[in-house]
């Protein structure tokens, strides 16, 4: 009985991992209001001056998918063709899902890996604090 339970647990775990090898990532995304275009996965250049494209994929029916391998977690950026700004993410092994808000990139949601979910929570809390500070600064002095 124990062997059957162990075998089932291993089978469920391997199925849940989507067969990604160590360090492999898959980024899937949806962009509301954009049917076609290009997505650029970028990272900051070694000298810190500008960005380098790591990968380029097409948007089809508002969806995109980027696959690759990452040796260690690193900050990267998603640049959408004809959209101002860049969407930061932590590129690491695993499945990363992005719901892109092309009109306000900072409202986009990252899910799937622990680091990206924590990064999204951090950004949401930072935005709340920033809005609170702006509100306080607009209040007249007493």
Is CATH 2.60.40 the classification given to domain 20-138? yes
CB-based contacts of 111, cutoff 8 Å, min separation 6:
96, 97, 98, 99, 117, 120
Identify each DSSP E strand in the chain by its residue range. Answer: 24-31, 36-44, 51-60, 63-69, 74-80, 87-91, 94-100, 109-111
This prediction's pTM = 0.75
β-sheet bridge partners, residue 80: 39
Instruction: Output the tens digit of pLDDT for each of the chain's 142 residues.
Output: 555 664 555 444 445 545 778 889 999 999 988 999 999 999 998 887 889 999 999 999 999 999 999 989 999 999 999 899 999 999 999 999 999 988 888 788 889 899 999 988 998 899 899 988 988 888 877 6
β-sheet bridge partners, residue 87: 78
């Amino acid at each position: 009985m124990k062997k059957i339970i162990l075998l089932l647990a291993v089978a469920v775990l391997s199925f849940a991992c989507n067969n990604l090898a160590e360090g492999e990532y898959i980024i899937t995304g949806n962009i509301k209001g954009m049917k076609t275009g290009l997505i650029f996965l970028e990272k900051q250049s070694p000298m810190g001056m500008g960005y380098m494209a790591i990968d380029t994929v097409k948007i089809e029916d508002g969806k995109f998918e980027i696959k690759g391998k990452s040796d260690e977690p690193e900050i990267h950026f998603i640049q959408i063709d004809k959209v101002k700004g860049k969407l930061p993410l932590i590129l690491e092994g695993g499945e990363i899902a992005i719901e892109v808000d092309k009109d306000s990139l900072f409202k986009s949601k990252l899910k799937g890996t622990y680091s990206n979910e924590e990064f999204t929570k951090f950004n949401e809390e930072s935005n709340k604090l920033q809005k609170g500070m702006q509100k306080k600064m607009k209040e007249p002095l007493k």
